[in-house]
Structure 1
Amino acid sequence: MSIGYINGKYIPLDELAIPIDERGHQFGDGIYEVIRVYNRKAFMLDEHLERLITSAKAIKLPIERDASDFRLLINEAVEKSGLSECTIYLQITRGFAPRKHLFPGVPISISMTVKPASLLQQSLRENGVSAIVHEDERWANCYIKSLNLLPNVLARQTAYEKGCYEAILVRDGMVTEGTSSNIFMVKKGKVYTTPLSKRILAGITRLAVRQICEEINIEFVEQSFTVEELFQADEVFLTSTTSEVLPIVEVDGQMVRAGKPGEVTSELYQKLQQMIVR
C-alpha cells in the first residue's frame, strides 16, 4: 500500500498534510530525490543518497543524518509499504517557521512517500517518443536537485500540449538536458551526452548508462552538442529514474534517422535491466 512519512511518523497518504508555514511550500527551500525500487531493493541507493547530501550542502541545509541513516529509513519504509515495485519520493526542507527570507533556527523537515511504481506503456519503448526543443530558462545551479521546478513544469507542459513526451532544453545554442531527464545521442557507435556542470543534474541513470558503456566497450563521450547535431544523430534517447532508457525518434517534428529506436539504445536498455536484477 502507499504510505507517507513525516519527521518520524508514518501516516496514510490521505492524512498527510504540511503546515502553511513550511519553507519548502513557501520558498521551494528544500531538496528531493526520486528512487525506484525493484523487487524490494532500491536501485543505486548509495548514489541517490550521495547526491542528496551534495544538494543539502549546496543550499546550506544542516542534515545531521548520514547516508546510512537514510538507507535504514528508506528500507524500513519499503518494508512497511509491502510493495515490491515502487517509487520513493524523499524531500528535505528547512522546516516550519514564520515566513521570512533568512534561515530560521528550526529543525529541518523530512518527508517521504512510497507509492506503487507507474510503469511506462510498452509501446513507448518499442516505438520511441517525440520531443520538442525548448529554451532552458532555469537557474544557474541545476546540479542541485532542489524543489524549484517551475521552469521544468512549464517546459514539460508545453511539450505535452504539442503531443510530445519531453522537452529538450537548450541554453546558448547547446543542449543541456530534459525537463526531468538527461539527453543522449548516438553517432557512429559512440554515445554522447552533455558534460557535468552546474547547468545539468548528475542523473543516476545517466551514471548507470556510463557504467554499462564501459562494461560493453561503447565509447561514452561527455561533449556539448547543438540541436543541429542532435538532428544528425544516428539515435537519440533520454534517461531518468522513472523512464529508465527511452528512445526519442522525433524532435520538433523531424524524424531522428528512420524514426525508429536504434540498436545501441535498445542494447543499453537491456543491459540496464540486467543491472537492475543483479
Structure 2
Amino acid sequence: MSRTVYVNGAYLPEEEATVSIFDRSFLMADGVYEVTSVLGGKLIDFDGHLARLERSLNELDIPKPEAFDSLLEIHRELVVRNDITDGMIYLQVSRGSAGDRDFVFPDPEVVKPTLVLFTQSKPGLAESPVAQKGIKVISIEDVRWGRRDIKTVQLLYPSMGKMMAKKAGADDAWMIEDGFVTEGTSNNAYIVQGNKIITRALSNDILHGITRAAVLRFAREAQMEVEERSFTIDEAKAADEAFITSASTFVMPVVEIDGVTLGDGTPGSVAPRLREIYLEESRKAAI
C-alpha cells in the first residue's frame, strides 16, 4: 500500500511526489530536517522538534515555509492517513529551487522553501529487543563542518560512519575530536561513572538533542547526578556504563566500545531506568 506524503501544500501518493532537480537540498545540501517519533498514534516531543526546526532555519537564513504554523496539523493528518501507531515522521525544509544551479542564495521573495514530510511505520518501536542487550560502537575521527548544532541534511559523513561501524561488526560509531567524544553518528553520547551521568555540554560542536534535553531533565528529577563536560574515548572505555539518546532510539545502552566490554557486557542499571522513565513520561505528554 502506498504511503501518503506531503509536498508543498499537497497530500500525495508517494509515487506522485516530486521535487525539482534544481532544489538546493539536492544540489547543495541546503536544507534542514527533523524526525519526530510516534508512539500509540501520538507525537513525542513535538514542541521541542518544532522549536529546533525554527532555530535551524534562522541560523541558515532559510525562510519559514508558509505551512509552518500548520505543521502539527500536517503531522497528525499523516499519522491518520498512513495509519501509523508506532513510527516516525520525517520533515525537511530546503531553501527551494531557483530553476538553476548557483552558489548564491536565491531571492527569498521570489523562491519559496520546499517542505516535504513522510512517515515511516515502525511497529513496536519502543519495545526494541536491541535495548535489552545494548549496542556496540567504534570510534572514528570527527571531520564534519563546525556547525553541528544546526540539524542540516549534510549527512554523508555520519552515513559513512555507520558503514565503518557495520564493516567492523559494530552497531554505530562515536566521533572523536581533539581527543574527546563529540557525539554518535545520529545521537548524543553519554557515559556513567558510579551514579554520575556525563555528557558533552551544548555548543556548536554537537546537535542540541531534543531527546537529550528531556532525558537529562528526567534524570535530574529522579535525583541522578548529571555532569555536562567533555570526556575521552579512553574514559568511556573505563566507564561503568554508556548509552546514546535520539528521537528514534530513545535511550539505548552501549555495552562495547572499540572492542572493549563495559561491565559484564550487558546494560547496567542507569540507562535502562532512564529509558523506562523517558518512555513513561513522553507517552504521558504525547500529543
Letter in 2 for 1:85: D
Contact 1:182 1:238 in 2 (8 A): yes
SS at match of 2:53: helix
Contact 1:38 1:276 in 2 (8 A): no
TM-score by length of 2: 0.93
Structure 1, residues 188-225: CA drift from partner, whole Å, max 9, x if none?
10111010000100111111111111221001111111
Letter in 2 for 1:77: L
Letter in 1 for 2:21: I
Mean Cα displacement is larger for which, 118-127 or 133-142?
A: 118-127
Structure 1, residues 78-111: CA drift from partner, whole Å, max 9, x if none?
2222222221000000111210011112111101
Could you say which residue in structure 2 is the equivalent of 1:214? Answer: 220
Whole-Å separation in 2 of the counterparts to 1:277 and 1:13: 29
Q: How is 1:5-84 mapped onto 2 (pairs within 5 angstroms)?
A: 5-63=6-64, 65=66, 68-84=69-85
Mean Cα displacement is larger for which, 78-87 or 137-146?
A: 78-87
Tell me the C-alpha RMSD between the 2 structures: 1.6
Q: Specify which of 96, 101, 118 is matched with residue 113 of structure 1.
A: 118
Could you say which residue in structure 2 is the equivalent of 1:103? Answer: 105
Q: Specify which of 256, 278, 286 is matched with residue 250 of structure 1.
A: 256
Could you say which residue in structure 2 is the equivalent of 1:151? Answer: 157
Could you say which residue in structure 2 is the equivalent of 1:230? Answer: 236
Whole-Å separation in 2 of the counterparts to 1:84 and 1:120: 11
Could you say which residue in structure 2 is the equivalent of 1:272? Answer: 278
Unaligned runs of at least 5 residues, structure 1: none
Contact 1:46 1:67 in 2 (8 A): no
SS at match of 2:186: coil
Whole-Å separation in 2 of the counterparts to 1:56 and 1:66: 14
Contact 1:185 1:236 in 2 (8 A): yes
Contact 2:65 2:114 in 1 (8 A): no
Could you tell me the percent identity over the aligned residues? 35
Letter in 2 for 1:116: S
Please report how far the alpha carbon of residue 265 of structure 1 lies from its aligned counterpart in structure 2 after TM superposition: 0.8
Whole-Å separation in 1 of the counterparts to 2:69 and 2:39: 20
Structure 1, residues 121-166: CA drift from partner, whole Å, max 9, x if none?
8442111110000000100000000011111111111001111111
Structure 1, residues 217-265: CA drift from partner, whole Å, max 9, x if none?
0011111111111011110001111111111111111111221100011
Whole-Å separation in 2 of the counterparts to 1:32 and 1:165: 23
Contact 2:4 2:82 in 1 (8 A): yes
Contact 2:174 2:185 in 1 (8 A): yes
Whole-Å separation in 2 of the counterparts to 1:120 and 1:17: 32
Contact 1:133 1:170 in 2 (8 A): yes
Could you say which residue in structure 1 is the equivalent of 2:192? Answer: 186
Q: Cα gap change, 1:84/1:121 in structure 2, threshold over 3 Å: closer, same or farther?
A: closer
Please report how far the alpha carbon of residue 67 of structure 1 lies from its aligned counterpart in structure 2 after TM superposition: 5.9
TM-score by length of 1: 0.96
Letter in 1 for 2:106: P
Unaligned runs of at least 5 residues, structure 2: none
Letter in 1 for 2:44: F
Q: How many residues align?
A: 278
Contact 2:126 2:279 in 1 (8 A): no
Contact 2:7 2:115 in 1 (8 A): yes
Whole-Å separation in 1 of the counterparts to 2:260 and 2:166: 17
Please report how far the alpha carbon of residue 277 of structure 1 lies from its aligned counterpart in structure 2 after TM superposition: 2.1
Q: Specify which of 164, 170, 190 is matched with residue 170 of structure 2.
A: 164
